[in-house]
Structures are given as structure tokens and as C-alpha cells.
Amino acid sequence: MISRISGTLIALSDGRATLQVGGICYELFIPSGLVETLKPHLDSDSPITLHTIYYIEAGDMKAAHYPRLVGFTDPIDMEFFVLFTSVPGLGVKKALKSLIMPISEIARYIEEKNPAGLSRLPGVGPRLGEKIVATLSGKTAKYALAVGSKPLAPAGGKQADVTAEALEVLLQLQYQRTEAENMIREALAGNGKFKSSEKLIAHIFASSQVEV
């Protein structure tokens, strides 16, 4: 069980952070709202500490399973996330994208038994909102009292998710952030909306072939 990691931040994207601890590099999923908070620490000699959740993600093949880590700067945020993802149907990735409200506000909706308020979260419709209330009501009062909590994910629709995923792919392919952002901006300017990051990346590839 890995509950906390301290190391040097060597890479950062919209949904992931990589920490180097000695000769080992750990990649962690992080709430996208933490990116700006962590940026000043990128390539700094001063180590940072992330409180972590360790879980196993099932791959496309039934036999394929991958160990994953999710990192938080605040242990209270991590505690709430563990509780939040205990709701059936609310997986880690969906939960990371859904937290566009402070955890105190989400907890208040739960304690007030207000599924309509929860349905405003991305990926949480009326049915899942009711399931969250039924599962967690009476368990989140302490988080509703959290002072000064901030959203762990920026507000944005489906297109924002597609753009963020495409940016992450381009960064993994070793493009500089400015270059990747320009490529995405040009694609969106010429074609409006894309239904998936795969379609956006395919369009960027096709455009680069034409330019060559």
C-alpha cells in the first residue's frame, strides 16, 4: 500500500504528475485543478509530497490489470475522494473529472439529500446523483465543514475534456506544451468540435501530412 510519496516533480500534464524518488519515477493521476498549484515545483530541487491512493485498473483485455496511483496535496481531499469513489458506478477517472465544485459544497448536497445539485457535476446524472446520496448520506458531514476548499477540477464541457486528453497525448509524444497547444488551437479553429480526442489527434496528423 503506497499512501504517500515525496520526490522531485519532473513532468506535469493536465491529468498526470511524475515524481522522481531516487532512481525510480512514479507517474500519478492528479485532479486537473492541481496543475497550476504544482507548476512552480516543476524541475525544482525541492521535493514535494503527494498523498496517494493505490488501485488496480482493469485493461481492455480481461487478463490485463495495471497498478495506478492518484495523488493529492491535501489529505482531506484524498479522504473525501476515497469515500466518493466507493459509490458503485463512480470510478476514479470519472470522479477526477467531476469535482468542479469544492468538496465542502458536494458534501453539503449529499448531507442535504439533494441529488439535483450533484447532477450538475460532469458525468453525474440524476440517477447517479441519487445513488451518491443513498450511499454517502450521513458519512460526509465533516467534509461539508471544510473551510476554504477549492474545486479539484476546472469546469468544462465534453469539448474541454477532449482538448485536455489530446494535449496529454501530444505531451507524451514529446511535443513542447506551447507547440501542442498551438496545434490543438488551429485544429479547433478550422473544424469546430471533435467528439473524441482520437478524432482530434487524427485531424492534427492529417493536417501535418498536408503541410509536409
Domain check: are 58 and 92 in the same one? no
Q: Residues 161-188: what's their mean pLDDT?
A: 81
Q: Of the candidates 73, 99, 131, which is a domain's last residue?
A: 73
Per-residue confidence at 191, pLDDT binned at 50, 70, 90?
A: low
Q: Of the candidates 135, 156, 177, which is a domain's last residue?
A: 156
Domain check: are 169 and 204 in the same one? yes
Domain check: are 147 and 162 in the same one? no
pLDDT of residue 210: 46
For 57, the grid coordinates are 485498473
User: Which CATH number goes with the domain that contains 202?
Assistant: 1.10.8
User: Which CATH number goes with the domain that contains 35?
Assistant: 2.40.50.140
- For the chain, the domain total comes to 3
Domain check: are 62 and 97 in the same one? no
Domain check: are 164 and 200 in the same one? yes
Domain check: are 87 and 33 in the same one? no
CA 164 from centre of chain: 10
- End-to-end alpha carbon distance in the chain: 49
Residue 59 has pLDDT above 70, yes or no: no
Asked whether the whole model's pTM tops 0.95, one would answer no
Residue 62 has pLDDT above 70, yes or no: no
Range of the domain at 180: 158-211
Q: Which residues contact 202 (CB under 8 A, 6 or more apart)?
A: none
Cβ of 146: how many Cβ atoms within 10 Å? 16
pLDDT of residue 23: 92
Q: Of the candidates 39, 54, 73, which is a domain's last residue?
A: 73
